[in-house]
Amino acid sequence: MYKLLFLFLIFFSACANQENAPPSTEGIQGIWELEELKVVSGRDTSAMDVSTINQHKIYHGDYYMWNRKGSKESEEWHGYGSFRIEGDTLIETPHVSSVMMKNLMDSVRMTEFRTYLSIQGETFRQILYNPISGVYNIQTYRRIGD
Q: What is the pLDDT of residues 76-133, one digit of tens each?
A: 789 999 999 999 999 999 999 988 888 877 877 778 989 999 999 999 999 998 888 8
Give the separation between CA 69 and CA 139, rounded to whole angstroms: 16
Please give the pLDDT value at position 116.
Answer: 95
140 vs 38: CA distance, rounded Å: 9
Share of the chain above pLDDT 90, in %: 55
On the question of pLDDT at 71 being above 70, the answer is no
Does the structure show a pLDDT above 50 at 136? yes
pTM over 0.85? The answer is no
| Contact (Cβ atoms closer than 8 angstroms) between residue 88 and residue 69 | no
Domains and CATH numbers, the chain: 2-145 (2.40.128.280)
Residue of 1, 96, 99, 86 lying closest to 42 (CA atoms): 1
